[in-house]
Amino acid sequence: MYCSIEDMVNRFDVNELIQLTSSNSQGVINQSVIEAAIRDASNLIDGYISGRYTLPLSNVPAVLTKICADLARYNLYDNAVSEVVEKNYKAALDFLMNVGKGTLKLGLSSDSQAPASDESIEMSSSGTVFGRADSKGFI
């Protein structure tokens, strides 16, 4: 799965999640309901990216955690979805469609590994524009 219950709690209002998952007034998140929504969202993500990446991903990009959380949140609503939730859901689907088409990349190689980095910084310059020698006494 691409996100956890903790990820959902960190991203969204706890009271909203309690309201969406609890069928009674216990005031706690029903973990089995939220896990089912996350599982459904993860399966949807897999459907879009399976043609481009080897599943399961060994290194999950942070963007997929957000996408999964947005999809799972939408899945928790039975009806009366707010405009923001629906907008995030549609944006997540657009992102996944573009990943599936290959117009967007997740930053992973075809074997689902993050690219290696030597973590070095390189700076280059094309030379000076103004200098003392060229200023004719102005600088």
User: Residue 135 falls within a domain, yes or no?
Assistant: no
Residue 96 belongs to a domain: yes
Q: Is residue 129 part of a domain?
A: no
pLDDT at residue 128 above 90?
Answer: no
Mean pLDDT lowest among 12-21, 53-62, 107-116, 129-138: 107-116
The enclosing H or E element of 68 equals helix 62-76
Nearby residues of 56 by Cβ (< 8 Å), 6 or more positions away? 112
Please indicate, yes or no, if residue 16 is contained in any of the structural domains: yes
pLDDT value at residue 96: 96
pLDDT over 90 at 74, yes or no = yes
Using a cut of 0.85, tell me whether the model's pTM lies above it: no
Residue 60 located in a structural domain = yes
- pLDDT greater at residue 83 or residue 111: 83
Match 């609890």 to its residue by tokens: 22
Q: How many domains does the chain have?
A: 1
What range does the domain containing 19 cover?
A: 5-101
> For residue 96, what are its two tokens?
């996944």
Q: Is residue 24 part of a domain?
A: yes
Q: What is the pLDDT of residue 31?
A: 93
Q: Does residue 113 form part of some domain?
A: no
The answer to whether residue 108 sits within a structural domain is no
